[in-house]
Amino acid sequence: MPISRRDFLRTGTSAIAAYPAMMALGMLRTAPAHAFDLEGSGAGKHVLILGAGLAGMAAAYELGKLGYRCTILEARTRAGGRVFSVRKGSTNRETGAAAQTAAFDDGQYFNAGPSRIPHHHELTLHYCKELGIPLQVYNNINEATYYFSEGKGPLSNKKVRVREIHNDVRGYTAELLAKAIDQGKVDAELTKEDTQKIIEFLRAEGGLDIDKLYKASDRRGFIEHPGAGNKSGSIANPHKLADIISSGLMDPDFYNVAEYAYELQMTMFQAVGGMDTIAKAFEKKVGKDVRFGCEVKSIQNQAEGVSVTYKDKTGEKQITADLCICTIPLTVLSNIEHNFSPDVSRAIDFVPYMQTGKIGLQFKRRFWEEDEQIYGGITHTNNELAQLFYPSYDYLGKKGILIGYYNFNERAKKMGDLDFAQRQQLALEKGSLIHPQYKQEFETGFSVCWQKTEYSLGGWALYTAAARKASYTALQQPDKQVYFAGEHMTYLNAWMAGAFESARKTVADIHARVTAQRVAYPATSSIV
Ligand SMILES: Cc1cc2nc3c(=O)[nH]c(=O)nc-3n(C[C@H](O)[C@H](O)[C@H](O)COP(=O)(O)OP(=O)(O)OC[C@H]3O[C@@H](n4cnc5c(N)ncnc54)[C@H](O)[C@@H]3O)c2cc1C
């Protein structure tokens, strides 16, 4: 029975039992999931932060709470760095090309950078909560999307619903294993009882019939949906295992293991209205300290402090500070003058970055929803597109932007080497093999090639074992007065959580130095 505030106060329940009830009644503030309570003050110290991405702004935000004075130099005219939601009027500049401007309709957008927040990225979720950023569920996994294999097999060159392949493959593999176990052909020490239990499990897992054979079920969808009267619905025969294999649908491009990956497991979230809402919330807190349009040209450690040369629209300028946090991606930093130690200098030049790109395509009509019942999720292909993402917002709306490709490595390189018009043409040509509606409904597009995007020059740090051992270790220590932060300074590459974790670690390191404390990140501090 629901209890009123007054009833609750009258009952005088014990404190322990009272806590959850008080929370439910909104009488207590929830404790921050990830409090960062350092002791001591940084008043009087000036920290220069290079880059107003999430790492730079989160560092300034936390340092500000501790009393430090911060100045952030940002080359772009916007905050957020790789957090880039493309909407009407957004621009992006790639090497060797004129700036591109998005012509999407008002209210339409796509996330060219981050689009998903895993449920276990507590620090990202913590900041969303602390800064009041509304979140919504991001639908990362959808059985109604397609596999599209360009190739020779009988299931190639046509779209096949993911649910058909998932359930057929699950059924056939369960059948094979159940038969092998039944015939004692599996080299495992199993009691008769265990064997029976595993076979029962496989029957349920694979949707096998009483004979332990896979014969398809409604899990793989209907060719005629059930309805009223005598419409009982009908399901198709399963695809043959040999056809699935020869059509390439069991190749790496289509493994569904990506969905099992820790970071991609549901529940996933996104910021309502675009991921740049997160950057904007930080900008609201630290924006007064950001100097936009200031491209860092040189970073020089001095006997004490640090001196940085940057260029804005009026010319070259210099600024000094006690300490510096450099969050510039290593691909960009390697072209900036500095007087770092040889080890640090080598490390900066050595870390490879992911080549990756996306295109947003605006359509007059959400045909993927209206005609094909696809609400969010990803279609996989083995061609240049790699993946198509359907929007996880504005369901049943009129227009929509889908991500026409999100590709990596060689495919991203080839796509990125094309000019904007050619990329769009290829995305439309290949995409209309899956959705012929493209031809009628397309309005406008915008592509981002991250390895060519100015001030990013790559998707994210892609550490090899050798680079992790040598370069990563070298960059963990400050080079005199300069600290390195950003996603590349973590094991959370390709995630905003990396930027936040590294910001906090760097703030903890700086605060320990300034206040002569031992601070063990992520724990709280104690003055010695
Ligand atoms: C395609 C793509 C998809 C992603 N998907 C996800 C996702 O789904 N979920 C997720 O959590 N994360 C995702 N990420 C990762 C996430 O975007 C990054 O980890 C995070 O934004 C990095 O923040 P940062 O502050 O370390 O770096 P940045 O955002 O790169 O910030 C560095 C800043 O330095 C500035 N700068 C560069 N050069 C100079 C200079 N010379 N002078 C002054 N300033 C300079 C830049 O303009 C930039 O603002 C994705 C990234 C990409 C590219």
Tens digits of residue pLDDT in 38-90 = 999 999 999 999 999 999 999 999 999 999 999 999 999 999 999 999 999 99
Q: Which of 215, 250, 285 is the last residue of a domain?
A: 250
The ligand 1 atom at the shortest distance from the C-alpha of residue 354 is 53
Three-class SS of residue 79?
A: coil
Pocket lining: 392 vs ligand 1, CB cutoff 6 Å? no
CA distance 381 to 28: 50
The pLDDT confidence band at residue 30, using thresholds 50, 70 and 90, is very low
Per-residue pLDDT at 526: 52
Token reading at 316: 């070259």
Domain count of the fold of the chain: 4
Which residues make beta-bridge pairs with 519?
525
Choose which residue among 332, 496, 500, 502 to substitute to test ligand 1 binding: the one with the highest number of ligand atoms within 8 A of its C-beta: 496
Per-residue pLDDT, 46: 98
Are both 232 and 172 inside the same structural domain?
yes
d(CA 166, CA 74): 46
For residue 37, is it within any domain?
Answer: no
Q: What sign does the dihedral 160-117-371-422 (CA atoms) show?
A: negative
Res. 213 pLDDT band, cuts 50 70 90? very high
Closest to 516 in 3D by CA, of 507, 526, 502: 526
Residues 407 and 270 in one domain: yes
Residue 376 and residue 229 in one domain = no
Cα 506 from chain centre: 22
* Ligand 1 contact, 155 CB (< 6 A): no
Is 501 a pocket residue for ligand 1 (Cβ < 6 Å)? no
Ligand 1 center–CA 57 separation, angstroms:
12
For strand 525-527 and strand 400-408, is the pairing parallel, antiparallel, or unpaired? unpaired
Nearest CA to ligand 1 atom 37: 455
Q: The CATH number of the domain where 177 resides is what? A: 1.20.1440.240
Question: Is residue 477 scored above 60 in pLDDT?
Answer: yes
53 CA distance to ligand 1 middle (Å):
6
CATH number for the domain spanning 440: value is 3.90.660.10
* Cα of 32 from ligand 1 centre, angstroms: 25
Taking CA atoms only, the protein residue closest to ligand 1 atom 20 is 496
Q: Which atom of ligand 1 is nearest to the CA of 327?
A: 32
My answer on whether 372 and 437 are in the same domain is yes
Q: How far is the CA of 524 from the centre of ligand 1 (A)?
A: 27
Q: Cβ(486) to ligand 1 under 6 A?
A: yes
Exposure letters 343-363 (e unless 16+ CB within 10 A, then b):
ebbebbebbebbbbbbbbbbb
Does residue 344 sit in helix, strand or coil? helix
**Average pLDDT rounded to a whole number, residues 86-99:** 97
**52 Cβ closer than 6 Å to some ligand 1 atom:** yes
- DSSP letter assigned to residue 487: G
Q: Which amino acid is at 54?
A: L
Per-residue pLDDT tens digits for 224-281: 999 999 999 999 999 999 999 999 999 999 987 777 899 999 999 999 999 999 999 9
- In a domain, residue 287? The reply is yes
Tokens of 198: 């595993």
Atom of ligand 1 nearest to the CA of 51: 34
- H or E element at residue 167: helix 162-182
| pLDDT value of residue 167 | 96
Residue 373 resides in a domain: yes
Can you give the pLDDT at residue 518? 84
Q: Within a domain: residue 256?
A: no
pLDDT tens digits for range 352-367:
999 999 999 999 999 9
CB within 8 Å of 209: residues ≥ 6 apart: 203, 215
CB neighbours of 107 closer than 8 A, spacing ≥ 6?
Answer: none
pLDDT the model gives residue 235: 94
Is residue 35 included in any domain, yes or no? no
Closest protein CA for atom 4 of ligand 1: 114
Atom of ligand 1 nearest to the CA of 356: 1
Longest distance between any two alpha carbons in the chain, whole Å? 87
Q: In whole angstroms, how far apart are CA 450 and each of 93, 258, 338, 388, 456?
A: 10, 22, 25, 17, 7
Nearest-atom index, ligand 1, CA of 121: 11
| Ligand 1 centroid distance, CA of 382 (Å) | 28
Q: 219 and 160: one domain? A: yes
Is the CB of residue 118 below 6 angstroms from any atom belonging to ligand 1? no
Quote the pLDDT of residue 416.
Answer: 98
- Distance (Å) from CA 460 to ligand 1 centroid: 8
Query: How many A from CA of 217 to the centre of ligand 1?
Result: 45
State whether the beta carbon of 355 lies less than 6 angstroms from ligand 1. Answer: no
Instruction: Find the 491 Cα to ligand 1 centroid distance in Å.
Output: 15
Q: Is the pLDDT of residue 16 over 80?
A: no
pLDDT, one tens digit per residue, over 171-209 is 999 999 999 998 888 877 889 999 999 999 999 999 999
Ligand 1 site, residue 53, Cβ cutoff 6 A: yes
Q: Could you report the per-residue pLDDT of 499-526, keeping only the tens digit for each?
A: 999 999 999 999 999 999 888 787 545 5
Q: What gap in Å lies between CA 516 and CA 293, rounded to an integer?
A: 35
Name the residue of 61, 62, 82 to mutate for ligand 1: max ligand atoms within 8 A of Cβ.
82
Tokens of 485: 């932060």
- Picking from 392, 421, 452, the residue at the C-terminal end of a domain is 452
Q: Half-sphere exposure of 9 toward its Cβ, with a 13 Å CA cutoff?
A: 5
450 lines ligand 1 (CB under 6 A): yes
SS (H, E, C) 430-475: HHHHHCCCHHHHEEEEEEEEHHHECCCCCCCECCCHHHHHHHHHHH
Whether residues 404 and 390 fall in one domain: yes
**442 alpha carbon – ligand 1 mean position (Å):** 30
Per residue, the 3-state secondary structure of 243-308, as one string, reads: HHHHCCCCCHHHCHHHHHCHHHCCCEEEECCCCHHHHHHHHHHHHHHEECCCEEEEEEECCCCEEE
C-alpha of 316 from chain center: 36
Q: Mean pLDDT, the chain, as a whole number?
A: 92
Q: Does residue 320 sit in the same domain as residue 404?
A: no
What's the token pair of residue 267? 């529940």
489 contacts 463 by C-beta, under 8 angstroms: no
In this structure, which amino acid lies at residue 524? T
Q: Which CATH number characterizes residue 483's domain?
A: 3.50.50.60
Residues 469 and 339 in one domain: yes
pLDDT in tens, 254-270: 987 777 899 999 999 99
Q: Is the same domain home to 128 and 105?
A: yes
pLDDT of residue 188: 77
Residue 39 forms part of a structural domain:
no
C-beta atoms surrounding 365 within 10 Å: 16
The pLDDT tens digits of the residues spanning 114-135 come to 999 999 999 999 999 999 999 9
Residues 361 and 290 placed together within one structural domain of the fold: no
Name residue 110's amino acid: F
Distance CA 302, CA 482 (A): 10
Ligand 1 atom 52: the closest Cα is on which residue? 113
Distance, CA 83 to ligand 1 centroid (Å)?
Answer: 6
Distance from residue 375's CA to the centre of ligand 1 (Å): 28
- Which residues span the domain enclosing 231? 156-250
| Residues sharing a CB contact under 8 Å with residue 341, sequence separation 6 or more, in sequence order | 479
Query: Is the CB of 295 inside a 6 Å radius of any atom of ligand 1?
Result: yes
Asked whether the beta carbons of 519 and 512 are under 8 A apart, the reply is yes
- Is 303 part of a structural domain of the chain? yes
Residue 401 near residue 108, CB atoms below 8 Å:
yes
Q: How far apart are CA 474 and CA 478, in angstroms?
A: 9
Confidence of residue 36 (pLDDT cuts 50, 70, 90): confident
Q: Which residues are 326's β-sheet partners? A: 50, 484
Distance of CA 508 to the CA centre of its chain: 25
470 lines ligand 1 (CB under 6 A): no
Asked if 478 and 346 sit in the same domain, the reply is yes
Least confident of 217-221, 240-244, 333-337: 217-221
Q: Answer yes or no: is pLDDT of 165 > 80.
A: yes
Q: Answer yes or no: is 261 within a domain.
A: no
Q: What is the pTM of this model?
A: 0.92
Are 387 and 270 contained in the same domain? yes
pLDDT at 35: 72
H/E segment holding residue 18: helix 15-24
